[in-house]
């Protein structure tokens, strides 16, 4: 088993303290965490920046709550993640993934996968959350 860095250990500790956590079926979790590196761009892609897989546990501070989420992918402009609740579009939050600082984001998309998992998209935001 790979040893965790201090930042990963701190995040894992905080994950255990979260109010709610995104839930993927066990058979999907391993597959979800596998991809690494740059994502393949589709020919009809309108994205401004290339996206990279950033898979793993992360923390979302949203409306006074601390939620356990799974980061999925990110670019210079935004981030995609799986959250345990439906997030309000236009709302601001703070996200923290291992080995990075916290980022302020604005929710732009939230789609139900199951009762305890929503596929969310956000753009990086400036200013106060």
Query: Can you give the pTM of this predicted structure?
Result: 0.82
The string of pLDDT tens digits covering residues 80-107 is 999 999 999 999 999 998 777 889 999 9
Extended strands (E) in the chain: 20-21, 52-62, 65-74, 78-83, 92-96, 103-114, 117-124
Best CA proximity match to 86, nearest among 103, 104, 63: 63
| Cβ pair 22, 32 in contact under 8 A | no
Q: Going by DSSP bridges, is the β-strand pair 65-74/20-21 parallel, antiparallel, or unpaired?
A: parallel
The string of pLDDT tens digits covering residues 23-72 is 887 777 777 777 676 656 665 666 666 778 788 899 999 999 999 999 88
């Amino acid at each position: 088993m790979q040893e965790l860095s201090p930042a990963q250990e701190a995040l894992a500790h905080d994950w255990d303290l979260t109010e709610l956590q995104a839930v993927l079926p066990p058979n999907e979790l391993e597959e979800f965490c596998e991809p690494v590196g740059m994502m393949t761009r589709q020919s009809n892609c309108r994205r401004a920046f290339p996206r990279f897989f950033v898979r793993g546990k992360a923390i979302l501070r949203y409306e006074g709550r601390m939620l356990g989420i799974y980061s999925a992918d990110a670019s210079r402009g935004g981030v995609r993640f799986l959250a345990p609740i439906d997030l309000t579009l236009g709302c601001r939050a703070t996200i923290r993934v291992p080995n990075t600082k916290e980022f302020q984001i604005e929710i732009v998309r939230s789609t139900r996968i199951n009762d305890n998992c929503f596929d969310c998209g956000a753009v990086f935001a400036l200013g106060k959350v």
